[in-house]
Amino acid sequence: MWTMRTKPPRVPPAAQVAGSAIRGPRLVPGDYTVRLTKAGKVYDTKLTVGLDRRAKFSSADRKAQFDAAMRVHALFGDESALMERIIALRKALAENGAALPEGDPLRKQISNFDGNVDAVRKKIVATTEGGAITGEERLREHTDQLYGAILSYEGKPAAYQVAYIDTLKQELSDVTKEFDQLLAKDLPVLNESLKAKGQQPIEAPPAKIAVNENASGSGG
């Protein structure tokens, strides 16, 4: 079976499931090659995917829908990349804090910095269990709603939907800048305190962290 869809997007982990992100956009009409490899032998066949005869939109409309969906697909990936940096930093903070004796003032300094980092995380994802009941929606949830709306109709997306992609991208850019400011200003201060105590400084997480591409894309 071939779903004629791309892989689902990589979604940041959160307290709520990103329901729309469990699938990728349906591929546009065109010629495709299906390849089967078995016992060292490769078998190829060509398939032509056409537009549904009942569709009231054109192939160009389908392309516009696919392109818009893939832009949101990429936005999910960018949100995930930032979340991975945040998770890596918080893990390092927890390890350093645990290595210090109880009552050490530096533990409080680490805890305060971790609180600032977590505040950035809470701008990206919902952190309360309960889904729609809580009404908590963040950047990831808004992205999922837009993604679902674009996938729900395979014709040309509305102008406001396309514009909303840019709005969400700007929101992510603002959150990323906030995180980078913490790394540039607050982390060096904390590291000076760590070095004064004979502790190893905490390295800023790289711009891109290697991930398992086979991981589930639904989040949760």
Task: Provide the residue-wise pLDDT of the chain in tens; the chain has 220 residues.
Answer: 888 999 999 999 876 777 889 999 999 999 999 999 999 999 999 999 999 899 999 999 999 999 999 999 999 999 999 999 999 999 999 999 998 888 899 999 999 999 999 999 999 987 775 544 445 678 999 999 999 999 999 999 999 999 999 999 999 999 999 999 999 999 999 999 999 988 889 999 998 765 554 444 444 3
User: Is 210 part of any domain?
Assistant: no
Other CB atoms within a 10 A radius of the CB of residue 159 amount to: 8
Q: Is residue 8 domain-resident?
A: no
Instruction: From residue 175, give the alpha-carbon distance in Å to each of 112, 169, 215.
Output: 19, 10, 25
Is 217 part of a structural domain of the chain? no
213 belongs to a structural domain: no
Q: Which token pair is 54?
A: 């009942």
Helices 105-124 and 139-151 pack at an angle, to 10 degrees, of 20
Q: Residue 170's domain spans which residues?
A: 19-196
In a domain, 212, yes or no: no
Residue 206, domain member (yes or no): no
Residue 193: other Cβ atoms inside 10 A? 15
Tell whether 204 is covered by a domain.
no
In a domain, 6, yes or no: no
Number of domains in the chain: 1
